[in-house]
Every structure is written in C-alpha cells, then in structure tokens.
Amino acid sequence: MSFCNGKRLLILSGPMGNGHVRAAESLAACARDDYPGLSVEHINCAALMHPAMRAIFTHGYTAVLRHCPHLWRSIYDRTNAPPGTSGWDRFFHWFARRASGRMAHYIERCGADYILCTHFLPAGVLDELKARDAVRARAAVVVTDFDTHWAYVLPHLDHVFAPVEKGAFKLRFNGVPAERISLTGIPVMPGFTRAHPVREIREELGIPSGARAVMVAAGGDGLGPIDTIARFVLEQTDDHVIVLCGHNAGMLAAVREIAARHPGRCTPVPFTDDVDRYMAASDVVVTKPGGITVSESLAMRKMTIVMDPVPGHEERNVDHLLECSLAVKASDLPDLLYKLDVLRDNAAERERLQTAADREGTRNAARHILSVMLAGGAARAGDGSH
C-alpha cells in the first residue's frame, strides 16, 4: 500500500507467556507480506527491561502458574477494576512503572509512525506517554484473550482491537468510545490459514492411514500435565499422540520416555515454529485454553478439547468457548476419554464444532487489524472481520 511507503510500524509484545509473542509475530508477518513499503519491527518488551525486572516478570509469572496458580487468579481478579480502586491494583501499577523506565525511553525516541501492542504492559506504558503527548504515533493494543481485562481500558490509545463481541461490549461499558474499538478476532500466523499437504505430513510423522491423531499442547512454556494426558490417551485408545512440549525441557524428556514405551504412536515435539504443520496432521487438539492456541485451532477447523485452564484469564476463555460451542471441556482424564469417544462416534458433534469454528474463527484477524491500524478506519461487528 503506497500510503505506508517509508513509514515505520513498531509491534511490542510482552514478557509474560508466549501467546502475546505469537500474536505479534503474526501481525509482523502479515504486515511484511501486505505492506512491502512499510518498515516493520517486532520487539518483545522484555528486551527493554532491566534484567532483574525482566526475570521477575518472565520467570516469576511462570513460577506462579506452575506452583501457585490460584495466586494468579487473585491478582487477575483484584486488578480487574478501575485504576486505584484496590491495593493490588495500586501496587501492580507502581511496580509496572518501576519496571518500564527503559521501555518508555525507547518508545519515546523510536520514531515509529504506528505502534501496536499485543500485551498490556507496553500498552500501559504507551498510554501514559500518549497522555503526556510524548508520543505522536498512532497507537493501539490487541487483546489476545476472549475476555477483556481492565488493563486494556486505556483512554489515551487511539484504538483497541477486541477478539469477540462480549469483549468489545465490556470495553464500551468501561468507558472506551465505540469508535475506538474494532471487533477483529485474535491474529494467527499465516500458516494456520493455508492448506497443508496433510497426507505427506502424516506419513512423515509415522501416523498410519486411518488412525486418529490427537495433538496435546500447553502453550510455548509447556505448562500443565501434558505428559500425564499423553500417557493416558496412549494407554486408553489406539490414537497417535503428538505432544508439543514448548520450552519445557523436563517435559520433553518425560514425553520421550513415554514415547519409547509406545513405539510408533507418540511424537514428542520441542519448541517449534511449525505448530501449524503438526496441527494440520491432527484430528483433535487437546490444549490449555490460551487465546492464541485456541484461535489457531479454530482457524484450522480442528475439534478442540480444553483442559486445565490457568485461573483467571483462561477460565474466562473457557466460558466464551463453551457459550459459543467452539470447544468442549474435559474436567479430568476420564472425562477426556469420554469426550474423545463422543467426537469419534458422533458425526453431528464434529460438524457442530467445525461449523462454530467457521463462524467464530480468526483467519483474517491480522489483516483486518492492520487495515484499521494503518489506514485509520474501523472494523465493526458484522463487517466480515472474522
């Protein structure tokens, strides 16, 4: 697009979790494909933080989810309120400001024409800079979960991209003007919207013709009992199991031991950028209900079973998925086996989930976000944004 020639887009992802990074990568990939004259840079804001603060945000977040997940629910719930209304909220905003000095300095001097955030931390910093008129760039934030936390109610940003209508409603209810909200879905990498040579991929992975393949995933950090889930499915079914272990080296080792006891039926996968290939080869996806992973599954029309939500934001994701018939939830391992049996034996249930995925999927979210961001328009509900 000629109006972007010579201009610069800065995309900022966050230090907590991997989904925000994948969303930023999808936006950067789409921008480079669709706007060749635009300079595109993606930075994880962890790189702009003091090492001690970076460790607290990255490792601290993972440690809380692994060892004390209900503490995260308390933090999520108590900060989900107007600024300054709770002690938790005041402490969090004080700490975030302390952690973000280098980030603010970089943003203020980067010279970008457009700044797009996929995480609340850089978005909050950007909002404060816009309030002081220290940044003139067009600035926006992309919400990457199906519920909209108060952290995304940022009055000085030019735009907020909501994934679903309920999230857009909450933004309006909490005071964000309707003209600053676009309903676009959650962006996914281009590979999740393209056709794949499924037969060749399955042959490469050693999946027999006619066998059902179940992909087990838990996000980029490999959190959750995915080894236990994989072992259970292998012992209770004849399915082939693909296990995405993310950055969790200990989990990868455990799954490799399980695979050795079930030769030819289990594919352990370390962190990979080829998630779309493994998902294309799968018939069913069993996953934690992170906004990005679920959106990737919906974009590929996969039957999705969600398990072990992180308290707080992922529990809210489950609410949306069940309300809209986009996934089924397994409460425990026997329930997982039951849901797998239902999806195998009930063609109507499979069709229901795939039809819902077509309706709610986010295949074109990145393109619509960029069209609004760069052209200054608005994508409203019902305009085909999804």
| Residue 80 located in a structural domain | yes
Tokens standing for 232?
């259970």
| Residue 385 located in a structural domain | no
| Residue 198 located in a structural domain | yes
Could you give the strand order of the β-sheet that contains 8-13, starting from the edge strand earlier in sequence? 39-44, 8-13, 114-117, 138-142, 159-162, 181-183
Query: Residue 11's closest CA among 3, 19, 20, 2?
Result: 20
- How is the chain split among helix, strand and coil, in percent rounded to 5? 50, 15, 35
Give yes or no: residues 171 and 240 share one domain: no
pLDDT at residue 52, as a whole number: 81
pLDDT at residue 179, as a whole number: 95
pLDDT at residue 50, as a whole number: 82
| Residue 384 located in a structural domain | no
| Residue 320 located in a structural domain | yes
The answer to whether 306 and 330 are in contact (CB under 8 A) is yes
pLDDT at residue 309, as a whole number: 92
Gap between the Cα atoms of 359 and 110, Å rounded: 39
| Residue 110 located in a structural domain | yes
Q: Residues with Cβ < 8 Å from 385, sequence gap 6 or more?
A: 182, 183, 184, 185, 364, 365, 368, 379
Series of mean pLDDT values for 10-residue runs along the chain (386 residues): 79 87 95 94 90 80 82 86 73 73 88 95 92 94 94 95 94 95 94 94 93 90 86 96 92 96 95 94 95 93 92 93 93 96 81 74 85 70 40
| Residue 386 located in a structural domain | no
Give yes or no: residues 142 and 94 share one domain: yes
**Residue burial 367-380, b: 16+ Cβ < 10 Å; e: rest:** bbbbbbbbeeeebe
The answer to whether 153 and 173 are in contact (CB under 8 A) is no
- Number of folded domains that form the chain: 2
| Residue 174 located in a structural domain | yes
Tokens standing for 50?
């003091």
- Model confidence, pTM: 0.90
Q: Which helix (H) or strand (E) holds 295?
A: helix 291-299
pLDDT at residue 359, as a whole number: 72
Give yes or no: residues 347 and 253 share one domain: yes
Give yes or no: residues 73 and 106 share one domain: yes
3-class SS at 181? Answer: strand
pLDDT at residue 378, as a whole number: 45
Give yes or no: residues 274 and 338 share one domain: yes
- Residue 128's CATH number: 3.40.50.2000
Give yes or no: residues 135 and 265 share one domain: no
pLDDT at residue 245, as a whole number: 93
Gap between the Cα atoms of 8 and 101, Å rounded: 23
Give yes or no: residues 237 and 295 share one domain: yes
Give yes or no: residues 219 and 348 share one domain: yes
State the residue range of the domain holding 276: 191-360
Give yes or no: residues 205 and 299 share one domain: yes
Give yes or no: residues 278 and 179 share one domain: no
